[in-house]
Amino acid sequence: MRFDNHRVVITAAGRHFGRTLAILLADLGAEVFLSARTLAAAEHVRDEIRSRGHQQVHAFACDLTDPASIRDFAAGVARHTDRVDVLINNGSRYLEGPDLLSAADTDIVDTIASGATGTVLTVKNFLPLLLQSDRPDVVTMVSACGTAGHHRSDAHDAFYASKSAQAGFAEILSKRLRPQGVRAISLYPPDFDNPDPRSAEWKTTPREAQDALTAQSLVECILFALAQPRDCFIKAFHFEQV
């Protein structure tokens, strides 16, 4: 599927999987509006994409723990476009450590705010632009940590709380936005390999049954869901953990 004439917003696209999504969706023809916590990080990825020959890419700063920053991000995008076709909630701080006492209070607040409050406010602020599209989709990168009973990650308890909040929000969002034609698609991956999409490793990373999940497969899941006819609401992708 090509994404020409699609306008795609991606949070936390300054590195890791957000950067991967920004590069690949631009390669497929999308106009990309990407954010990172610092403008410099967002501009670095923007310039990477432009060096690949794609000029329809815009960089913004957005701190998902700051409501004013989220509002400014949405307002900045609105100055460039009258609609958003796909919003990808990729941003959420990871906090390591299975010991509840190991993290400072400020880190716990930041972790929960970025994943939980940040996701809710991002959807709220971009919803008017999404409703102007005839094919609006909200994609949320949750985590296996957001599924009931999951305990295999070494992530901190606060990260589990953040992802559980995201999962609950995505669940009700799917029900309440469907009458308006907005699909809510969530992914619940375990830890996965994320090779640089510009490298040879992107095409050579093993993807057999015994291998860990890859970013390539996650991207293909997202593209598959977005490509479905509008009567097809794929609510969630869950994955086995090796």
64-114 residue pLDDT tens: 999 999 999 999 999 999 999 999 999 999 999 989 999 999 999 999 999
CATH code, domain with 133: 3.40.50.720
| Tokens, residue 163 | 């992802």
Does 13 map to a domain?
yes
Tally of domains in the chain:
1
pLDDT digits (tens, 9 = 90+) for 119-139: 999 999 999 999 999 999 999
Does 14 map to a domain?
yes
* Helices and strands (H, E) in the chain, number of each type: 8, 7
Does 2 map to a domain?
no
Does 233 map to a domain?
yes
Per-residue confidence (pLDDT) for residue 219, from 0 to 100: 97
Which range marks the domain in which residue 113 is found? 7-238
Does 1 map to a domain?
no
Cα 192 from Cα 180, distance rounded (Å) = 33
> Is the Cα dihedral 47, 205, 30, 81 positive or negative?
negative
Does 79 map to a domain?
yes
Residue 33 has pLDDT above 90, yes or no: yes
Cα 41 from Cα 69, distance rounded (Å) = 15
Residue 225 has pLDDT above 80, yes or no: yes
Does 194 map to a domain?
yes
